[in-house]
Amino acid sequence: MSAPTLLMVSAFIGTAGYKKLYQELGYQVVAEWTERKAIALVRKTPPAVIVADFFHQSDFRDRLSNLESLLATAQASPATKILVFYETAHQAVLDKVSARLRVDAALALPVAEAQLRSILQGWLTTPGD
């Protein structure tokens, strides 16, 4: 049985600092630095988990955040768990986005490693819930 895949999408904040933790928990880590490449990967082979940086910029013309296209694509794979890291200043925008698109867990920065570990371990024991 192969290790579950964790897609790490690091465009702004830098989720890459937890790669060793992801691997220690038993995930096969795939890193993408652009949302476009991450979307292609999710369409081709949906991962068990997506960990991504959430970012809001007021000059986005047609969306609220950097992740809406990726989140919309991931909705077609209900077994894929979605975890986002966000700045507390972006909480209200994240709430608006997550009211429309599934986000399974969100952690404010700085991320508490114990909380991150707990979430990811829980998803290993109950995949697809």
CATH of the domain at 98: 3.40.50.2300
Q: Which residue has the tokens 């894929």?
A: 80
Count of other CB atoms within 10 angstroms of residue 105:
17
For the stretch 14-61, pLDDT in tens is 566 898 999 999 999 999 988 899 999 999 999 999 999 887 766 555
CB–CB of 41/32 below 8 Å?
A: yes
Nearest to 41 by CA among 9, 2, 84: 9
Give the pLDDT mean for 60-69: 68
For the stretch 5-23, pLDDT in tens is 999 997 655 566 898 999 9
CB–CB of 94/63 below 8 Å?
A: no
Domain count for the chain = 1
What average pLDDT does the structure give for the chain? 87
> Structural domain of residue 44, as residue ranges?
5-125
